[in-house]
Structure 1
Amino acid sequence: MTRYRTIVSLFAFATTAFALQTSPGLAFSSEAQQMCTGDAMRLCSNEIPDIPRVRACMVQKRAEVSPGCRAVMDREHAATTSRKREAAAQ
């Protein structure tokens, strides 16, 4: 049973890390991956491995994420919003 839990935990961690790296809404840098993986595992583990659902869960539970993860999410959201505005202005 312990081996099974270890395998499941490693799979969940790897899937969450992948989701955080590839989520366009949260444009996850290595900093975001480092700061948010624990929150994704804690808050959204039931959504793994469905990447869009993990992303939506993190956004929905933004108020519950750690301050470091929230800061990264806010900063990367602001950068995405800025790029969209610049593209629309052209």
Structure 2
Amino acid sequence: MTRNRTIATLFALATTAVAFQTSPGFAFSPEAQQMCSGDAMRLCSSEIPDIPRITACMVRNKAQVSPGCRAVMDREHAAAAAARKREAAAQ
């Protein structure tokens, strides 16, 4: 059971990292963890435990993720992009 929990945690972190791949300072979203863990396990299990590879796998397979996961990924990616744009404008 502990091994499965560890694997699930790694997937949750990796899938959330997809949304923040260019903004490493952001915290992991509980919503992304909840919505994307199953997709990460289904699509990217061969990449465990390498979080950057899991992240890349999720990006490559975005068309195959569940609608809920895709919506969270899109929303969080848009928020990260807006934050980067604000930072660039402030400089």
Distance in 1 separating the partners of 2:84 and 2:2: 40
The answer to which structure has the higher helix fraction is 1
Unaligned runs of 5+ in 1: 1-5
Give the length in aligned residue pairs. Answer: 84
Q: Tell me how far 1:77 sits from its aligned partner.
A: 0.3
Query: Larger Cα Rg: Structure 1 or Structure 2?
Result: 1
The 1-side partners of 2:83 and 2:71 are apart by 18
Gaps of 5+ in 2: none
Q: Output the TM-score relative to the length of structure 1.
A: 0.81
Q: Indicate whether 1:49 and 2:49 are aligned.
A: yes
How far residue 8 of structure 1 moved from its aligned partner, in angstroms, is 4.8
The Cα of 1:83 is off from its aligned counterpart by 0.5
Q: Which has the higher contact order (CA 8 A, sep 6+)?
A: 2
Identity %: 56
**Could you state the TM-score of these two structures normalised by the residue count of structure 2?**
0.80
Instruction: Give the equivalent residue in structure 1 for 2:14.
Output: 19
Question: Which amino acid is 1:25 matched to?
Answer: Q
